[in-house]
């Protein structure tokens, strides 16, 4: 497990192996929160990258006859 050091400005460097495995690039945005006593960083994905990720989902919607 990689270990990182906190700089005097409270910055850390995400190790290269973790960046590559997680798809983190320069300018990527991440959600950060505390969970069960630890800090979690979750890469945010654009809605475009999620297109087609649920192919089995039924997208047919039953609409009322007075709706378009």
For the four alpha carbons of 5, 11, 48 and 62, in that order, the dihedral sign comes to positive
Query: What percent of the chain shows pLDDT beyond 70?
Result: 99
Q: Which of 61, 59, 42 is nearest to 51 (CA)?
A: 59
pLDDT of residue 12: 94
Q: pTM above the 0.75 mark? A: no
CA distances, 42 to each of 2, 57, 59, 64, 67 (Å): 17, 25, 28, 39, 39
Mean pLDDT over 46-68 rounds to 82
pLDDT class for 40, splitting at 50, 70, 90?
Answer: very high
Q: Does residue 10 register a pLDDT over 90?
A: yes
Total number of domains constituting the chain: 1
CATH code for the domain in which residue 12 is found: 2.10.260.10
**What would the two tokens of residue 53 be?**
């990720």
Domain hosting 2: range is: 1-47
3-state secondary structure (DSSP) of residue 11: coil
In a domain, 8, yes or no: yes
Mean pLDDT over 29-41 rounds to 95
pLDDT of residue 68: 67
């Amino acid at each position: 497990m990689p270990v990182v050091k906190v700089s005097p400005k409270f910055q850390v460097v995400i190790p290269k192996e973790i960046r590559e495995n997680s798809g983190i690039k320069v300018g990527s945005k991440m959600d950060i929160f505390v969970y069960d006593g630890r800090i979690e960083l979750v890469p945010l994905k654009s809605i475009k990258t999620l297109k087609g990720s649920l192919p089995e989902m039924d997208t047919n919607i039953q609409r009322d006859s007075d709706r378009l």
